[in-house]
Amino acid sequence: MDSIEKYLGEKRDFKVYMADKMLRRAVEREFEIIGEAMGRIEKLDSSLNISSKKQIISMRNRVIHGYDKIDNEIIWGTIVRHLPTLKKEIESLLK
């Protein structure tokens, strides 16, 4: 999550994101890693309260298995709406 934030910088701009293929691929890779970790967490302890656990795992599967069908607007929406919540939940669990 920190890597995605670092890649995007302070000024998050969808147009900049769309214009930079390397940035999009880097963010997609980070979501693959996050989704894989979430899948492993689910197998270890499905009772952990992570609000978007199933959606994260599903996004990972779409990114990995559907390269020709990646919806950049969905990725961006996840960054803007869900990543901050996920980060707070994970930080809380780590404490």
pLDDT in tens, 41-69: 889 988 888 888 888 888 888 888 876 67
Query: Residue 59 class from Cβ within 10 Å (0-12 exposed, 13-18 middle, 19+ buried)?
Result: buried
User: Which is more confidently placed, 56 or 14?
Assistant: 14
Task: Give the Å distances, CA to CA, from 44 to 36, 41, 81.
Answer: 13, 5, 26
- 72 and 16 Cβ atoms separated by less than 8 Å: no
Q: Which residues are catalytic?
A: 60, 65
- 40 and 56 Cβ atoms separated by less than 8 Å: no
% of the chain at pLDDT higher than 70: 98
What pLDDT is attached to residue 49? 84
What pLDDT is attached to residue 67? 62
Task: Give the Å distances, CA to CA, from 48 to 3, 41, 43, 57, 59.
Answer: 23, 8, 10, 14, 19
